[in-house]
Amino acid sequence: MIGYAFMGKAHSNAWRNVASYFDVPAFEQRVLVGRDPAGVAAGAERYGWAESSTDWRQVITREDIQIVDICAPGFMHAEIAIAALAAGKHVLVEKPLANTLAEAEAMAAAARTARTEGVQSMIGFNYRRVPALALARELIAEGRLGTVRHVRAAYLQDWLVDPESPMTWRLNKETAGSGALGDIASHAIDQVLFLLGDQVTEVSGRLHTFTTYRPGRNGPEEVTVDDAAWATLTLASGAIASVEVSRVATGQKNSLRLEIYGDKGSILFDLEALNELGFLDATVPVREQGFRRILVNEPEHPYAAAWWPQGHVIGWEHTFTHEVRDFLLAIASGTQPSPSFEDGLTVQRVLAAVEESAASKSSIIQLTTPPETSPRPEGA
């Protein structure tokens, strides 16, 4: 695994625990890679890796390494992933796929080539593995909502509300690619496409940076990415989706809210209550209608049978365990994991269209040839 900070910690937890709850092929946590020798060595010991290294290029050539998990910042994704695939390693990479559309296209091309040799790849949109959202996808696919007309997706955080919060790599376009757009709108957009099994055909967007300078090591530094983003998406089915994301929404810690409205029913979800799904059946008489709360932790629900007795809820970290489980099973069966790099490229194209629309201030950007997407993961 390359990277051992926030995402590295989450992924390590998944690798360390997945075999305790799911029947997966045997594997070993061999090497943790990072730039700081002391830091990565401490991380390896803490998170269960057998050894550490500061040279990812050397590690991906090792014969005892078959999987590379990339948790490094986005500007490193393309170089590492393409090299690892060329070396015959299966690759899992955190979202967004890359910092630029050109990098994402190169990664998808490399993944297609590697797949012909039996080498698999997957992007880590972990919210696809929230049991309640996997259930929502099932209900929509079964026609329980009828024809979906519109979707509201809002991913709101507040960790940048204070203008004195220090400058980080996430606020620099060279290292982060974009701000709230790539960081959390990528999740929201992927959920719209995942839940509906749809494609985006038109995009209109706006970006805004509320705090343009933040304290750096040697004084104020310019923030070169967005704090918030808005987009309206037209889908191939005719449905319309609104997407709003912010890292300055005071009081919102990590709230991904999804509302899906069809002519026969509706679904509500909030990540801050991730074991619950709101469902309204509009086919019953009006006097009986109303949103009901489904507690999604029955053995019949996606992923839930592996965990605890009914009523004992799971948390955010479990989504990464489900992700690793699905990745390992796909590798073992020789099937393409989902979401694929092509799925990541699809989201990247929408993100690029939002940026283009925001720059032109009024344009609707056409997306006429969506790329092939991957099938639904087995067992989800």
What's the mean pLDDT when you consider all of the chain?
Answer: 96
What's the pLDDT tens digit per position in 62-83? 999 999 999 999 999 999 999 9
**CB 263 within 8 Å of CB 282:** yes
Are 270 and 235 in the same domain? yes
Based on the fold, state whether residues 207 and 318 are members of the same structural domain: yes
**Do 67 and 153 lie in a common domain?**
no
Cβ neighbours of residue 107 under 8 Å, at least 6 residues apart? 77, 78, 81, 82, 93, 97, 98, 341, 344, 345
For the whole model, what pTM was predicted?
0.94
Does residue 157 sit in the same domain as residue 232? Answer: yes
pLDDT digits (tens, 9 = 90+) for 324-374: 999 999 999 999 999 999 999 999 999 999 999 999 987 888 997 555 555
The answer to whether residues 10 and 82 belong to one domain is yes
Whether the pLDDT of residue 379 is over 80: the answer is no
Does residue 92 sit within a domain? yes
If asked whether residues 108 and 213 sit together in one domain, one would say no
Report whether 252 contacts 160 (CB < 8 A): no
Domain boundary (69, 99, 126) is at 126
User: What average pLDDT score do residues 290-303 get?
Assistant: 97
- Per-residue model confidence as pLDDT tens digits over 140-157: 999 999 999 999 999 999
Residue 211, C-beta contacts closer than 8 angstroms, at least 6 positions apart: 160, 163, 223, 227, 248
Same domain, 230 and 99: no
- Tell me what pLDDT residue 378 has: 45
Phi, psi angle pair for 22, to nearest 5°: -125, 150
CATH of the domain at 117: 3.40.50.720
Count structural domains, the chain.
2
In a domain, 378, yes or no: no
Interatomic CA distance for residues 97 and 63, integer angstroms: 26
CATH number at 272 reads 3.30.360.10
Decide which of 126, 159, 179 is a domain's last residue.
126
Residue 344 forms part of a structural domain:
yes
CA atoms within 13 A on the CB side of 202: 10
Average pLDDT of span 93-113: 97
- pLDDT above 70 (res 315): yes
The answer on 279 and 180 residing in a single domain is: yes
For the chain, give the percent of residues with pLDDT over 70: 97
User: How much is the pLDDT for 161?
Assistant: 98
Considering the domain architecture, whether residues 122 and 179 belong to the same structural domain is answered as no
- Find the domain containing 209 and state its range: 130-366
Q: Is 256 in a helix, a strand, or coil? A: strand
Same domain, 151 and 27: no
At residue 15, the pLDDT reads 98
Domain boundary among the residues 80, 111, 126 is at 126
My answer on whether omega of the bond before 339 falls inside 30° of 0, hence cis, is yes
Determine, yes or no, domain membership for 379.
no
Distance of CA 135 to CAs 266, 303, 346, 369, Å? 13, 10, 23, 29
